Amino acid sequence: MEPQQTKTPRTAASGAQPWTSHVLHRSLLKQPQTVASASGSYVTLGSGHRILDGCTGAGVAIIGHGNKDVQAAVMKQMSTVSYAHTLAFTTDSAEDLADMLLEGRPYGLCKAYFVCSGSEATDSALKLARQYHVENGQAGRTRLVARRQAYHGNTIGAMSVGSNLARKAPYEGALLLDNVTHVSPTYGYRGQPDGETEEAYAERLVDELDAELQSLGPETVMAFIAEPVGGATAGCITAPRGYFAGVRRVCDKHGVLLILDEVMCGGGRTGSYFAFAQEGDVGPDLVTLGKGLGGGYAPIAGVLAHERVVDVLRRGTGTFVHGHTYQAHPVSCAAALAVQKVLRRDDLVSQCAAKGAALEASLRSALGGRRHVGDVRGRGLFWALEFVQDRASKRPFAPAVRFATRVRDEAQALGLAVYPGTGTADGLSGDHVILAPPLNISGEDLALLVKLLEEAYGRVEREVEQAEQAEQAEQALAVWAARARGEDG
């Protein structure tokens, strides 16, 4: 008998080499650190380093890590029904989750379609929109309109309507859809000139959408998709007052469906369960949910459909021509149902609104006036800091500076996880970090989050300033040397 091999425990990534892992990680050059355990608002690495999860991955762990109620619900579901194919069957966990989300038909939403990721939810919503028009006798509606500086997912359809340039670049001209056009984002920091009122800015953006639809031929457009609060691409950008109500009117005028992507900003993250609820009379036709739906305890996302969309399909073929092997997975639905119960039981959405106000005040006080912090923006417990080289001109750093990534690295070394973003300003340049802690984070940990972020930012600011001073000294020396050579000559 061959001797049994003992597996070496995975510790910190410091000694690991990326080519020793059989996992195709996002980077082939750098091995990610291993998380050994997670509880509440903290994750612990294999090295023992404990990190305050100030971004919950990518705004995912909405009730924190290691919740016992969710763990028990998952175990109970796995002990009864771990899988059922939805072509022929349904499960109580899927039905109960849909019942909870759609109790009272909020905003006219009446059906839920559960999948495994936000990208799948976006593609499902696009398919629903297309089938709606086909069954409504308007098969000529084939075009989609979205917004620049938006992210809607990584599958082909979702990536096509998104505008994260770095993620799309390798696939342009080969895999992406060619029936998508983009209009301006609601990016007040860069898009609203001094002297323009919020109402005028909103009206101008709505007029731009109206003009785009008319230019394309509104009878050719099936849907407009937008994030109520922007996600990772531009960092928590919010809409001016009246914008989404205006968008709804324009879509109604032209028979275009309105899809609101709440994969990142929904589920209570912004201080109301639906982020669009703070935008006035919007009434979306389709809404996508994701990260906060399952809180990271199982892969799940979904599409919520308005009764007007469902009624057209019901009167037509009576089917949705779409399906996934793992859609409405019973274990995922059980996990999400347990998360939603915790969210309601502990009144975490209201807590999010109150804690968000405190976080905003602390961020503005500690970092709002710093040399390279151009903007502090967000809502609820979903905030971003945009970094700029020059505050007066809003000029972003060159990508090579890696300002946001360096802030992330320094923060993690100090014991805080934040979510960095690049290409903030125009898809190519610009930096931000996102803060999206658990909704049940304690007041003490919220204060610690700001303290550690301030310290991490300060370290990078000093490094950048020292580099600038060294460059200026080198330039001055070069000028002096040139003059000296001239005098010698």
At 209-218, the pLDDT tens digits run: 999 999 999 9
Both tokens assigned to 111: 């059906």
Ranges of residues in the chain with a pLDDT under 70 are: 1-16, 18-19, 487-489
CA distance 136 to 129: 11
Where b means 16+ CB within 10 Å and e means fewer, 406-432 reads bbbbbbbeeebbbbbbbbbbebebbbb
CATH 3.40.640.10 residue ranges of the chain are 68-345
Tokens 């905030």 appear where?
383
Beta strand segments in 285-393, E: 286-289, 301-306, 373-379, 382-387
CATH 3.90.1150.10 residue ranges of the chain are 13-63+348-468
CA distance 223 to 131: 11
Please provide residue 117's backbone torsions phi and psi, each rounded to the nearest 5 degrees.
-155, 160
At 314-371, the pLDDT tens digits run: 999 999 999 999 999 999 999 999 999 999 999 999 999 999 999 999 999 999 999 9
Residue type at 198 in one-letter notation = E
Give the DSSP H/E element, type plus range, for residue 455.
helix 443-488
CB contact at 8 A, 427 and 148: yes
Q: What is the dihedral of CA 437, 438, 439, 442, to 10 degrees?
A: -90
CA distance 215 to 163: 21
pLDDT of amino acid 18 = 67
Going by C-beta distance under 8 Å and a sequence separation of 6 or more, which residues neighbour residue 402? 422, 431
pLDDT of amino acid 10 = 55
**CATH 3.40.50.1820 correct for 13-63+348-468:** no
Classify residue 2 as exposed, middle or buried by CB count within 10 Å of its CB (0-12, 13-18, 19+). Answer: exposed
List own/partner pairs for 403-410 with CB under 8 A and 24 or more apart.
Answer: 403/372, 403/431, 403/460, 403/464, 404/431, 404/432, 404/433, 405/431, 406/460, 406/463, 407/433, 407/453, 407/456, 407/457, 407/460, 408/433, 410/455, 410/456, 410/457, 410/459, 410/460
pLDDT of amino acid 489 = 43
Residue type at 93 in one-letter notation = S
CB contact at 8 A, 107 and 274: yes
Give the DSSP H/E element, type plus range, for residue 291.
helix 291-294
CATH of domain 68-345: 3.40.640.10
Give the residues across from 415 on adjacent strands: none
| Cα angle 442, 447, 452; round to 5 | 120
CB contact at 8 A, 471 and 463: no
Judge if pTM exceeds 0.85.
Answer: yes
- Give 171-214 as a DSSP string: GTTTTS-SSEEEE----HHHHS-TT--HHHHHHHHHHHHHHHHH
Phi-psi region of 437 (alpha: psi -120 to 50; beta: other; left: phi over 0): beta
CA distance 375 to 202: 19
Taking 3-state DSSP, the helix, strand and coil percentages for the chain, each rounded to the nearest 5, stand at 45, 15, 40
Both tokens assigned to 182: 């983009």
Q: How many CB atoms lie within 10 A of CB 351?
A: 18
CA distance 58 to 60: 5
pLDDT of amino acid 7 = 52
